Amino acid sequence: ASTLGAAAAEKGRYFGTAVAANRLSEPDYVATLNREFNSVTPENEMKWDALEPSRNSFNYANADRIVSHARSQNMMVRGHTLVWHSQLPSWVGGLDANNLRSAMNNHINQVMGHYRGQIHSWDVVNEAFQDGSSGARRSSPFQDRLGNGFIEEAFRTARAADPNAKLCYNDYNTDGINAKSNAVYNMVRDFKQRGVPIDCVGFQSHFNSQSPVPSDYQQNLQRFADLGVDVQITELDIEGSGTAQADNYRRVVNACLAVSRCTGITVWGVTDKYSWRASGTPLLFDGNYNKKPAYDAVLAAL
């Protein structure tokens, strides 16, 4: 196959990208997106601040533009993200526990209901664990007011809201075996043992020289898969350039392909010029939509 999406499909996987609604009017952006990718994740448009800026008042216009574009191109959509401490409107943080619980469940019900049947996988909860060696939960309005049970509650609500969507927990710095990924692993194992609905774990995979592709990446993906969940690489970008960057991308693709339950890879943007990492060149296409060595390495590995 001659494109990322088609090559991944031959391996029973998808190859996706984060998409920004306001770039869908740029012809080169859309041409590259439509040619190469068969899954999209809205980069910001499905976050709480975008969808529900004030309580129970929902704004779907930008997210809808991405979903309808994806549907017109037969692309899958990853929903990102329902419950996250960041890009959270300030009104949420001002609620007491009872109001926060009902606001969280209402947000999940409304948003998943709006997109019912159109989302392949939802990042139900994003980034709920701290970095470092503690393995503890991160402080957030949800954690601080509702306690550890908020994640389980969010997943149970999500299952009922769209029974056909895969429900994922998504995080960063969990790509290798470390205290943070151990904490997520223990949570997923507990959920599976107790029948809490969870289908997948997303590994963001934002890599740079401080946080390189871990040597035990494949092993880590595999241990999660062995718990009975799918694994997905959800926000891949790798700082660098040339051969070194290409080698790192190849390692990521090879790790996913070696794990039968690794169902797809999403890169966190189409082109370096719109990367959230403003100072870097972490993606597969340069600012002129030329294929980089990293692109060639990914396509060859798929």
Complex with ligand XIL: residue 43 or 230, whichever CB lies closer: 43
Residues labelled catalytic: 235
Complex with ligand XIL: residue 126 or 140, whichever CB lies closer: 126
CB of 237 to ligand XIL, least distance (A): 9
CB of 125 to ligand XIL, least distance (A): 11
Complex with ligand XIL: residue 7 or 151, whichever CB lies closer: 151
CB of 219 to ligand XIL, least distance (A): 23
CB of 151 to ligand XIL, least distance (A): 16
* Residue numbers 222-261 binding ligand XIL by CB under 6 A: 235
Complex with ligand XIL: residue 43 or 239, whichever CB lies closer: 43
Complex with ligand XIL: residue 91 or 276, whichever CB lies closer: 276
Residue of 58, 60, 91, 276 that binds ligand XIL (CB under 6 A): 276
Query: Minimal CB distance to ligand XIL: which residue?
Result: 276
Residue of 181, 204, 245, 263 that binds ligand XIL (CB under 6 A): 204
* Residue numbers 27-46 binding ligand XIL by CB under 6 A: 43-44
Q: Read out DSSP for the chain? A: --SHHHHHHHTT-EEEEEE-GGGTT-HHHHHHHHHH-SEEEESSTTSHHHH-SBTTB---HHHHHHHHHHHHTT-EEEEEEEE-SSS--HHHHT--HHHHHHHHHHHHHHHHHHTTTT-SEEEEEE--B-SSSS-PBPP-HHHHHH-THHHHHHHHHHHHH-TTSEEEEEESS-SSSSHHHHHHHHHHHHHHHHT----EEEE--EE-SSSPPPTTHHHHHHHHHTTT-EEEEEEEEE---HHHHHHHHHHHHHHHHTSTTEEEEEES-SBGGG-SSTT---SSB-TTSPBPHHHHHHHHH-
| Type of residue numbered 280 | G
CB of 235 to ligand XIL, least distance (A): 6
* Residue numbers 111-150 binding ligand XIL by CB under 6 A: 126
Binding site residues, ligand XIL, CB under 6 A = 43-44, 126, 204, 235, 276
